[in-house]
Amino acid sequence: MKNLDQLRIFHAAAQSRSFTRAAQAVHLTQPGISKHIRQIEEEIGLPLFDRLGKKVALTQAGEVLFQASQEIMASIATAELRIEELKGMHGGKLVLGASFALGNYVLPGFLAEFRKLYPLVELTLEISLSEKIAARILANELDVGLVSYRSPDQRLSVTKFMTDELIVIVPPGHPWAKKSRVKPQDLMGETFIVPAKGAATRGVIEERLKNLGIVLTNVLDFGNIDGVKRAVEVGLGVAIQSKSMMQREIEAGILVGVRLTGMDAMLDSFYICRKDKHLSTATKAFLTLLQNGSQSVVHEDHPHSSASVQR
């Protein structure tokens, strides 16, 4: 290839598997993208893409070049971050990813505080499933990810930053609303409301129940936490969720939280980064804020507080 721009163009096309999206990413026309790809293919002497109608797929030669371009682009991004770091916190950007629960309920407070401290840093947040966040970190598309499970991938640095409590949530009129505690075995007689498959908290709960020999069969999938809350509120069933995610509804008397006994009811949350990735000043500042501000969100309940989980 004659220059780095051509490599960027190829990388954009290979990553998106679309000349149209690549054109948008690098601010060229689609014919311009096609022209550059043809020039690279002529220089290499092998096709890099199979043209499948409006879609494109990488050939073996394309896969080889794509892997190399991933490493080169990551090195360039690291160099740019280090240069940006010389400017202090008077610019730069921070690209975060978070699971739905953490992104919607935990992260906003930290982002508000971070923006107060560092208003010139550009913040970007992607909310998705935990496993997708981990994949995006490995692809060097995110700086930090907040997830609710400990990734086993050895390329990732995994650090616990928060511990929450799993509780059973029921509507105020439910027989359990006046109970002090509920056993996991009691769930077998109830309709159990869950978020979508792939949600990290759901996976943790199902695994812990399975370890106790409990497999729930009467299960309703309501997509996300807000759907779960609403389904429980109207009496469709019961659910297990993080206490901090339910606090507002418990305080308002819309839902009642009941403690779990007979199983591990603690849920850890983690931030993940690539081990080989240089952390910018902005990233380090955010992680410091995260660690200092949320070692634990499990608090002692006041016995007369409407926000208390039933004891």
* Residues 173 and 117 both lie in one domain: no
In terms of domains, do 67 and 121 share one? no
Residue 86 lies in a domain: no
Q: How many structural domains comprise the chain?
A: 3
192 confidence band (pLDDT: 50, 70, 90): very high
Whichever domain contains 19, its CATH number is 1.10.10.10
Tell whether 306 is covered by a domain: no
Q: How many CB atoms lie within 10 A of CB 19?
A: 24
113 shares a domain with 50:
no
User: Do 169 and 251 lie in a common domain?
Assistant: yes
Between CA 110 and CA 115 the distance in angstroms is 9
Q: Cα-atom radius of gyration of the chain, to the nearest Å?
A: 24
Task: For residues 23 and 33, state if they share a domain.
Answer: yes
Higher pLDDT, 291 or 85: 291
What's the Cα-to-Cα distance from 161 to each of 52, 57, 107, 109, rounded to whole Å? 46, 40, 12, 15
Q: pLDDT digit string (tens) for 225-241?
A: 889 999 999 999 999 99
Provide the mean pLDDT of the chain: 87
**Would you say 271 and 287 are in contact if contact means Cβ atoms under 8 Å apart?**
yes
Pair 223, 140 in one domain: no
Q: Domain containing 260: what range? A: 164-267
Q: Domain check: are 168 and 249 in the same one?
A: yes
Is residue 88 a part of any domain in this protein?
no
Q: Indicate if 242 and 225 belong to the same structural domain.
A: yes
Same domain for 174 and 127 = no
- Note whether residue 84 is domain-resident: no
Bigger pLDDT: 258 vs 223: 258
